[in-house]
Amino acid sequence: MASILTQNAFKSIYDYMFRVGALIGTATRPAVVLEEISDAVHSGIAFQVDGRNSLTNGSSFNFMAKVGALPLHFIDFTLVTTAGEVILELYENPTITSNGTAVASNNKNRSSTNTSLTACYGGTTASSNGTLIARHHILGSGQGAFSAGGSGGFGGEWLLKPNEDYLFKITNSSGSTIQYSVSFYYFEK
């Protein structure tokens, strides 16, 4: 009896999906289902910011996202470094004294003319970092001439508040000057 119910339930769901597909498109073309991230790219509301810099030992670099009127679905912030330990921190509601230099956000749908509501800046100065909401240590390996860098960051989705500032702080504690690159991927919805 259970298998008949399962088959009937499946048949009903299939029939429903077929009818919905017929209303959306044609009966011969089923409805297209996308993951939310892919849908954001196709809808022209997904953006990426990339950068590269050097950082002396013991110093920090701040990157800021001034979130616009819509929530920011923060998908990934990846940092790749050439050597040693780097600390990556994310702060909410910092006290900003200087935005720094505006950094371009590139729409991941190259056919879209949409622009990001979130303004991004590099070299931001803050008198207070705000509330620490995440910290990640990126560890290198080896020593001296045989040291190697590492990569890491904040993966998985974070939903950041609209009309709020967020500070990404990169601190070099490797013992030497490093080269690093960052990639920040998000969508607004």
Domain with residue 128: its CATH number is: 2.60.120
Percent of the chain with pLDDT over 90: 51
Same domain, 67 and 155: yes
Same domain, 86 and 11: no
Same domain, 158 and 126: yes
Same domain, 79 and 167: yes
Same domain, 106 and 164: yes
**pLDDT at 127 exceeding the cut of 90:** yes
Same domain, 56 and 132: yes
Instruction: Give me the number of domains the chain comprises.
Output: 2
pLDDT confidence tier of residue 77, bands split at 50, 70 and 90: confident
Same domain, 138 and 176: yes
| Spatial distance between the Cα atoms of 24 and 37, rounded to a whole number of angstroms | 21
Taking only the tens place, the pLDDT of each residue in 161-170 is: 999 999 999 9
Domain contains 38: no
- The 3-class SS string of the chain reads CHHHHHHHHHHHHHHHHHHHHHHHCCCCCCCCCCCHHHHHHHHCCEEEEEEEEEECCCCEEEEEEECCCCCEEEEEEEEEECCCCEEEEEEECCEEEECCEEECCEECCCCCCCCCCCEEEECCEEEECCEEEEEEEECCECCHHHCECEEEEECCCEEECCCCEEEEEEEECCCCCEEEEEEEEEEEC
Higher confidence at residue 167 or residue 83?
167
Give the domain extent around 65: 43-188
**pLDDT at 123 exceeding the cut of 60:** yes
**pLDDT at 23 exceeding the cut of 50:** no
- Determine the pLDDT at residue 35: 82
Decide if 73 contacts 5 (C-beta within 8 A): no
Same domain, 2 and 52: no
- Determine the pLDDT at residue 95: 98
